[in-house]
Amino acid sequence: MRMNRGLTTALLATAGVATLSSCSSSNISGLGYEKGLSSVNDVSLPLWQGVWITAGIVGVVTAILILWPAVFHRKKNDEFPKQTRYNVPTEVAYTVIPFIIVAVLFAYTARDESRITKVTPAAQAKHSITVNSIQWSWQFTYDDAHAGNKGTITGTPAHPPTLVLPQGEKVRFTLTSTDVVHGFWIPAFMIQMQNLPNVTNHLEFSANKLGTYPGRCNILCGRNHSQMLFTVKVVTPAQYQDYLNTLKAA
């Protein structure tokens, strides 16, 4: 019995140390995502962390519930154990508790999703870019610089395009597809939205830190899906204006 107690204490201590060490490391605290990279991260990151904390608590409680009977209620003698058919309080508890967990996660997710997908009307948007997807690359049209066939950058699988964004300024995106379903995804910005044929989707966010970030298609869209890449380059608003002017002049 003493050895069993020792084992349980050791397991609990290990779980405790693992939890504490993950909290103290700033790298793990974002659980793969960096804070402040985009306006979406500001909303999604607390949700992402909250879901992992919830999963951690559920995992630890479940492990204890499994290990507790295995360690402390082992077969002690040859006596046939007492047989019970049901336990109403336990059954109510294991129905109600998961329901509450799912309801809370759902409520936070629904709240954050409505915040993320909020878009200002086209006429009031400061910047707008159309993201069209084609098997197997991307076409970015900067509406501020759009005239005739100017202001459009079309990539190919061999030459993936670059999406230039102004730092700290909201950009309204219009997502369309020429052929099949694609997914406009910038992993570091915690954002993805599908490009659908015959459907126009809208998205709005600001990129808040200078730098380059990988972008991808995250819907299996055909043979060269894996080459459907792009790069996001976040520049200062002045550099963005220069870029638009070069597009207009090109």
User: Which residues lie near Cu ion (CB under 5 A)?
Assistant: 182, 217, 221, 228
Measured distance CA(161)–CA(164) in Å, rounded: 10
Measured distance CA(200)–CA(198) in Å, rounded: 7
Nearer to Cu ion, 134 or 171 (CB): 134
Measured in degrees and rounded to the nearest 5, phi and psi for residue 159 equal -125, 80
Least distance in angstroms from the C-beta of 41 to Cu ion? 24
Least distance in angstroms from the C-beta of 219 to Cu ion? 6
Measured distance CA(192)–CA(190) in Å, rounded: 7
User: Is the CB of residue 133 less than 8 Å from the CB of residue 196?
Assistant: no
Nearer to Cu ion, 91 or 179 (CB): 179
Least distance in angstroms from the C-beta of 51 to Cu ion? 27
User: Is the CB of residue 35 less than 8 Å from the CB of residue 45?
Assistant: yes
- In angstroms, the Cα distances linking 189 to 110, 164, 206 are 19, 14, 9
Nearer to Cu ion, 228 or 235 (CB): 228
Least distance in angstroms from the C-beta of 243 to Cu ion? 25
Nearer to Cu ion, 41 or 141 (CB): 141
